[in-house]
Amino acid sequence: MSIRKKLLISNFGMVFIPLFLFFVAAVLLLGLFQRDIAGISDYYGDSTEGERGGFAAIGNHFEKRDELFAGIRFFARYDPARLNDTAFWSKIDPELAASKAGIVIVSNGVPTFTSALLAGIDMDELEQNAWGHYRLWPHSPFDVAEVGGKRYSVDKLDVTIPDGGGTVYFLSDMSPFMQLFPKVIPLLAATLLFILALTNGVLTFFVSRSFIKPLYALKEAAERIKEGDLGHELAVRRKDEFGELAAAFEEMRLRLKRSIELQLQYEENRKQLLSNISHDLKTPITAIKGCVEGLLDGVADTPKKRDNYLRMISKKATDMDRQIDELFLFSKLDLNRVPFHFERTELTAYLRDYAEELNFQAQSAGVTVTFDSAVEDGRNLFVNADREKLRRVIQNITDNSIKHLEHEPKRIDIELSVENREAIVRIRDNGCGIAPDALPHIFDRFYRADPSRSEATGGSGLGLAIVKQIVEGHGGRVWAESAEGEGTTVSFALPILTTAEGEQA
């Protein structure tokens, strides 16, 4: 559940849960004061409707009282002369008394009629002791006044009578209610406050707990990363915004860990690279220095020896120059600083021509180079390639194969096929093969299957690493398969260009 939904549910809960609990508490409190409510019901109830008790009797009482007061207001407004008819009010007064109500009619400042229920009431005290403004039932608010030890609801109506101005006071005995209210109202208020505090506390606890727990987990994970511990997994399995944040944080941790591991690997490779460069350059330099010292010391005391020494110096210098060129090319490829000049190339014809050229060059070493295409006759197979760099790829692979050929007849087979909309070029030899533990590393820079880095097989260890960089620069891939004593197959795949109609070109 998302945080937004949790907050919405929490907000709704803050409204509806207190209302429900307050309703239940109010019912329980009413049950607690049932005896007082029954006493009010008996006080106001109609003896002729004894079967109706409780709030029903109280409601019936106030309905009758309101009907009587409404009738009196009608006479006061439309027949004010009747306000001076004492005999008329004497007939109505018993009905008012039955409703625990009464009226006081004042004409020109002098009471002309006072209900029996209000006999002896002090009007000055009534005016002075009015306090509070209440709404006890679904009708107009009224003032409450305490007179003679009793509390009355007071409603005042100014009228015009034939003899001058007058006032009608409507009074209803509210003493039972006023005795109950000081008990009930504080309890209801305290109950409401307790329910609000309890609901707020419980909801805040659970909602904040669902927020704070993942935050502490994130904080702990961040502290561990700050201390360099990238192995601590952030285990927050949630389906909300915190879950998404934790997933993003965990992905960041894994990427940072991989980045640091890769950086450490790069550092180790850099050290290895420097060591390998030092070794590969130190060997020919040592040989050159030895030849030069031999010439200077007169060891080469015949023209033939001097010629051999000079040829050795030339060969070692050429090897160093080639190694430096390969190192320079690889470093630029590794930094993506070598521009590729791609052009639409028909691969079958390109490989056939280059295979013939290689065959001519390899004949001097007793090696036969063949080319075979599995592409249908007459079908063009176009790829986007840098011709010179693709030539370097094939040259490096074949050169590496020629150095390891042992079985007669020595041969290298170049094959072309199409698989899954890729042009697959396989260069197979019948050499000594590569050990299984060495095969995954042959495309690593400066890697040689011969750990002694002997020059018996030659090479700088960069040839196949350059092959991989160039093929991947073409958007392709390269791999090798080998069996010891049987030979090695180095393959690379290039994407095939298509025509506008989507057919293979």
CA 185, 189, 191, 192 torsion: positive or negative?
positive
Chain CA centroid to CA 352, Å:
56
Q: Identify the CATH number of the domain in which residue 255 sits.
A: 1.10.287.130
**Amino acid making up residue 362:** A
- Same structural domain, 286 and 387: no
Domain co-membership, 349 together with 478? yes
Least Cα distance to 386 among 334, 341, 422, 350 occurs for 341
Least confident of 73-87, 226-240, 255-269: 226-240
User: Residue 278 domain-assigned?
Assistant: yes
Over 411-427, what HEC string results?
A: EEEEEEEEECCEEEEEE
pLDDT above 50 for 493: yes
Closest CA to 422 of 384, 469, 464: 384
Asked whether residue 389 is domain-assigned, the answer is yes
230, with CB counted inside 10 A (0-12, 13-18, 19+), is middle
The CATH number of the domain holding residue 57 is: 3.30.450
* Residue 446, helix vs strand vs coil: coil
Q: What is the pLDDT of residue 131?
A: 47
Could you tell me the pTM of the whole model? Answer: 0.47
Q: Output the six-digit token pair for 213.
A: 């727990």
Last residue of a domain, one of 173, 191, 220: 173
Burial 45-66 (b: 16+ CB within 10 A, else e): beeeeeeeeeeebbebbbebbb
Domain shared by 126 and 46, yes or no: yes
Q: Is residue 23 part of a domain?
A: no
Q: Is residue 312 part of a domain?
A: yes
Is residue 205 situated within a structural domain?
no
Residues 135 and 37 in one domain: yes
pLDDT class of 41 with cuts at 50, 70, 90 = low
Q: Are 38 and 55 in contact (CB under 8 A)?
A: no
Which residues are registered as beta bridge partners of 134? 142
Boundary of a domain, candidates 276, 303, 333 = 333
Structural contact between residues 476 and 483, judged by C-beta atoms closer than 8 angstroms? no
Question: What does the pLDDT average to over 40-52?
Answer: 52
Cα(413)–Cα(368) distance, integer angstroms: 8
Name which of 84-88, 272-276, 426-430 the model is least confident about: 272-276
In a domain, 449, yes or no: yes
Residue 334 host element (H or E): helix 303-334
Measured distance CA(496)–CA(80) in Å, rounded: 111
Residue 24 forms part of a structural domain: no
**123 and 258 share a domain?**
no
Q: Residue 367: helix, strand or coil by DSSP?
A: strand
Q: Torsions phi, psi of 497, nearest 5? A: -75, 145
Count of CB atoms within 10 A of residue 266's CB? 11
Q: Which domain holds residue 373?
A: 339-495
Residues 324 and 390 in one domain: no
pLDDT given at position 134: 42
Range in 98-112, 186-200, 394-408, 448-462 with the lowest mean pLDDT: 448-462
- The per-residue pLDDT for 472 is 92
**Structural domain includes residue 320:** yes
Q: Is 158 left (phi over 0), alpha (psi -120 to 50) or beta?
A: beta
Distances in whole angstroms, Cα of residue 338 to Cα of each of 331, 390, 463: 9, 14, 16
Distance CA 440, CA 460 (A): 18
Do residues 483 and 343 share a domain? yes
pLDDT band at 99 (very low <50, low <70, confident <90, very high): confident
Give yes or no: residues 147 and 263 share one domain: no
Of the candidates 311, 333, 355, which is a domain's last residue?
333
Q: Are residues 314 and 435 in the same domain?
A: no
**Residue-level pLDDT at 133:** 42
Share of residues in the chain with pLDDT > 90 (%)? 14
**C-alpha to C-alpha distance for 251 and 505, rounded to whole angstroms:** 42
Phi, psi dihedral angles at 107 (to 5 degrees): -120, 120
Domain of residue 489, CATH code: 3.30.565.10
How many domains does the chain contain in total?
Answer: 3
Is 266 or 372 the better-scoring residue by pLDDT? 372
Do 354 and 391 lie in a common domain?
yes
For residues 329 and 347, membership in a common domain is answered with: no
List the 410-419 sheet strands across, edge first: 367-373, 410-419, 422-429, 487-495, 477-483
Residues 246 and 148 in one domain: no
Q: How far apart are CA 497 and CA 422, in angstroms?
A: 9
Cα-based distances in Å from 253 to 210, 229, 269: 23, 10, 24
* Cβ(374)–Cβ(487) below 8 Å: no
- Over residues 68-85, mean pLDDT: 79
